[in-house]
Structure 1
């Protein structure tokens, strides 16, 4: 009977660990990052990180421009590039032109990683369906509390407050740049609207917010605490059985 009780306790403990970790598609990582287990990408936890950085570093814009050699590729320009200036950045709001946003993520180091980028379109439009982007996936599976598939229209990421939303800070109820250009018009790029979960495109010189993302996870072992807890419980149950046998 004692053996059966111990086995049952271990099964229940393992089940609770699996259940609690499977419920959330987003996991907070140290260093100001959030991992999306479904799409296998890591987001900056601060959804207006540029503004946060600019408030702490008055020379940030100059650093970004210099580190990008003063230019960003531009398919719509005659010479194939856009010359970066301070006008591409608004440090008081965190908004940037598409060129400024590209330059910012190129310059970004977060959590020791330098391969940050803007979110991209993952599926093109087809059969009347709108394109799908990494921000659409985040909107549908994460902060909006599951707005649905596809374009995610329903409740806005920046309008909803739940457990997933609280993982992030400074989420703006506004437009966010995507790294994907609008193929039919090289002077425009795609953006995502957190207010209603839709996507659109606009001229690259307009200013919008930028949310940094990178491919993959930043943690080799995402759940060391759960593993340690399971091992400790196992040792404790075995020790309890031995004490009972001695008595």
Structure 2
């Protein structure tokens, strides 16, 4: 475990209570027709995988940078290009920005959409022990970009070792021992050209042939 220092017991208890309440509220609010888990879709010739449930794309290499501080990871991602695609970022573990990173163990698809790393670990069951289509996924802590307001200036981090465990944690930004998994908003698949645009090259070629005659 590479978390640099331990938080006081009272802060741990408060954080656990907030997570438990958030998970309970999500379960109560879950509609009867809950969303089903959709399969990951290969992108960029296998260099990335699109998650239809989260609406984001994951780099296929889950450890492009090795161990780093939070700032080093953020700077590296700002200049990262995969398959010609830029604008990669760190995963988010608090998408609704309420300050609470829910633990996703035992939760369904809808209840875990707030936490990208938790969704991958506990809903898709992708971990270092079962990496699925991903490579270099480490049994280690991974950075998120989500602040932990209950233990500032730390940010939420996730242990991606085994999908049977929750993986919840946090780390100081100066910790040098955490990993980085690049994520991209939305689907990085090329946008298909409209039908007229597809026909234009053929029309121009035909016109050129007629002129040569």
Q: TM-score range by the shorter chain?
A: 0.5 to 0.7
Aligned to 2:142: 176
SS in 2 for 1:167: coil
Aligned to 1:242: none
Structure-to-structure mapping, 1:65-214, within 5 angstroms: 94-120=66-92, 121-123=94-96, 124=98, 130=103, 132-144=114-126, 157-160=127-130, 165-195=131-161, 196-207=165-176, 208-214=178-184
Establish whether residue 215 from structure 1 lines up as the match of residue 155 from structure 2.
no
- Structure 1 pair 106–186 and aligned structure 2 pair: CA distance change class (3 A): farther
Aligned to 2:62: 47
Query: What CA RMSD, in Å, does the superposition of the two structures yield over aligned residues?
Result: 2.6
CA-to-aligned-CA distance 1:182-224 (integer Å, 9 cap, x gap): 22343211101112332211211112000000111111479xx
- Structure 1 pair 202–23 and aligned structure 2 pair: CA distance change class (3 A): closer
Aligned to 2:43: 29
Q: Which runs of 4+ in 1 moved over 3 A?
A: 123-126, 128-132
SS in 2 for 1:28: strand
Larger radius of gyration, structure 1 or 2? Answer: 1
- Structure 1 pair 209–23 and aligned structure 2 pair: CA distance change class (3 A): closer
- TM-score w.r.t. length of structure 2: 0.58
Larger RCO (CA within 8 A; separation ≥ 6): 2
CA-to-aligned-CA distance 1:67-115 (integer Å, 9 cap, x gap): xxxxxxxxxxxxxxxxxxxxxxxxxxx1001111111111211122221
Whether the 8 Å CA contact 2:103–2:166 is kept in 1: the answer is: no
Higher helix share: 1
Whether the 8 Å CA contact 1:26–1:142 is kept in 2: the answer is: no
Whether the 8 Å CA contact 1:174–1:193 is kept in 2: the answer is: yes
- Structure 1 pair 99–125 and aligned structure 2 pair: CA distance change class (3 A): closer
In structure 2, list runs of 5 or more residues that go unmatched.
1-35, 105-113, 193-213
Higher strand share: 1
- Work out the CA distance in 2 between the residues paired with 1:197 and 1:115: 29
